[in-house]
Amino acid sequence: MRRLLAVYAAEARIGLQNQLQYRVSVFFQLLGFLIEPVVYLVVWRTVAEKAGTVGGYDVADFTAYYIVWTLVRNMNLALTPYVWEWWIQRGRVSDALLKPVHIYHRELASFGGMKIVWILLWIPIAIGLTIAFRPSLDPTWFEIATFAVAIWTGYVVRHSILFVVGLISFWTTRASALFEIVVALELLLSGRLVPLSVMPQWVQDVAAVLPFKWTFQFPIETLIGKLSPEEILVGLVAQVFWIGVLAGAIALIWRRAIRRYTAVGA
């Protein structure tokens, strides 16, 4: 465990240094990510102004939701199946197999280190959105502390989901097509598109038994005051549960995937 923690520290440091070299590029990438939430924000603010309250959210609630959404979205960026396809085609996996630490841990730590830069660059963006839209956001210290945990565990859950999907690349050259289906499900069932309370009840029921909502909506609602302390603790337990389930799936699929691995390249 001590050696694994040392690897995490080293990979996170490398990821951090990498992003510091390209901080201006990263800042403009973050600005690009604003298009999606700002569109959602304007639409649902308009709806709430006319309807008063939608799914328990008023204008101020929707505003707070989508501003916090921008941070959660950046925190949830992880290794995608597109990269796996390229790695296998170029033989990159062969290099990874020669290293003593599982690629899952190295990528998780590397992306984690990158997020430190993303968070720092997100702060001025959040200030600008707050000035422009004036959200109602007054979290307690408990909500802030649990949000700080939930946003990182949510990242681990999403990283694990995408890692499982990426491993399908060992069986097909088009795992990215499956990834697009997963993204579509995520949009509908995670709270990324709209808060789930706005969706039909059957969608909320389906979302309750899948891991997606614990990566997006749960961290957001933790900070904006939509959850009781008991509901927050239940959500943290659900995140840990899904991390365990996905870790087991990765361990099982990885062993079978490596037996099929054959490097090809251009």
Bigger pLDDT: 219 or 170?
219
Report how far residue 266's alpha carbon sits from residue 264's, in angstroms, rounded to the nearest whole number: 7
DSSP bridge partners of 54: 57
**CB–CB of 42/66 below 8 Å?**
no
Annotated domain spans of the chain: 2-260
The mean pLDDT value of the chain amounts to 87
Query: Mapping DSSP to helix (H, G, I), strand (E, B) and coil, where does residue 87 land?
Result: helix
Report how far residue 163's alpha carbon sits from residue 158's, in angstroms, rounded to the nearest whole number: 8
Model pLDDT, residue 177: 79
Q: 44-88: per-residue pLDDT in tens? A: 888 888 888 888 888 888 999 999 998 998 889 888 888 887 887
**pLDDT range class, residue 263, cuts 50, 70, 90:** low
Q: 75-132: per-residue pLDDT in tens? A: 898 888 888 878 877 777 877 777 788 889 888 998 898 888 888 888 888 888 888 8
**What's the average model confidence in pLDDT over 186-205?**
92
Model pLDDT, residue 134: 83
Alpha carbon separation from 12 to 6, 7, 114, 147 (Å, rounded): 10, 8, 7, 21
On the question of pLDDT at 175 being above 80, the answer is: no
Q: 217-252: per-residue pLDDT in tens? A: 999 999 999 999 999 999 999 999 999 999 999 999
